[in-house]
Amino acid sequence: MHLLILYSTIDGHTLEICERITAVARAAGHEAELAEIESVTAERLRACDRVVIGASIRYGHHRPAVKAFIDRHQAALEARPNAFFSVNAVGRKPHKRQADTNPYLRKFLRQIRWRPQQVEVFGGKIEYPRYGVFDRNMIRLIMWITGGPTDSRSVTDFTDWAQVETFARRVIA
């Protein structure tokens, strides 16, 4: 099986999650290819057997390129087994890791016509030292309001890596 794993990331954490999914698929004997969503052509999409799209959230929204890609390639996505996952800090809370309980994912799924066969939410990663002044302060404010970490020197990975690996095994099953 040839699995194509597409990602849209702001700070690189969604790519890390995609790399773990790739490792699980390859360990199971499958061909797995990673690509940034904006670089994928229709031909490349048609050449795969399965597709996974992973996208991060910043300030409550997925990047516009994710929706544009899905709208442009909806038929090709629907023509093969497929999955979508969202990475966001709200997903740090276990009860917000489902498609029906995560407000950002629910909103995104209402904006697109494609209905992924598998949907997952992963907790993101807060890396204050890497952010510019604006992002660091905005994210600290959001975390303060929602009860998350606010130490501007901290790096906190909310990703449940066992959940990522379970998702990967479901995708390749």
The full length of the chain comes to 173
Structure tokens at 113: 């016509």
pLDDT tens string 64-107: 999 999 999 999 999 999 999 999 999 999 999 998 999 999 99
CA–CA dist 115, 137 (Å, integer): 35
Average pLDDT for residues 149-158, to the nearest whole number? Answer: 96
The pTM (predicted TM-score) of the whole model is 0.94
Question: Across residues 144-166, what is the average pLDDT?
Answer: 96
Please, what is the end-to-end C-alpha distance for the chain in angstroms? 10
Which among 87, 92, 86, 85 is positioned nearest to 146, based on CA atoms?
Answer: 92
19-38 confidence digits (pLDDT tens): 999 999 999 999 999 999 99
**How deeply is 164 buried, as exposed, middle or buried, from its count of CB atoms within 10 A (0-12, 13-18, 19+)?**
buried
Q: Write down the mean pLDDT value for the chain.
A: 96
Please state the domain extents for the chain: 2-125+159-172
Whole-angstrom distance, CA of residue 14 vs CA of residue 125: 9
Which is the CATH superfamily of the domain at 2-125+159-172? Answer: Flavodoxin domain (3.40.50.360)
Look at residue 156 in the predicted model and tell me its pLDDT.
96
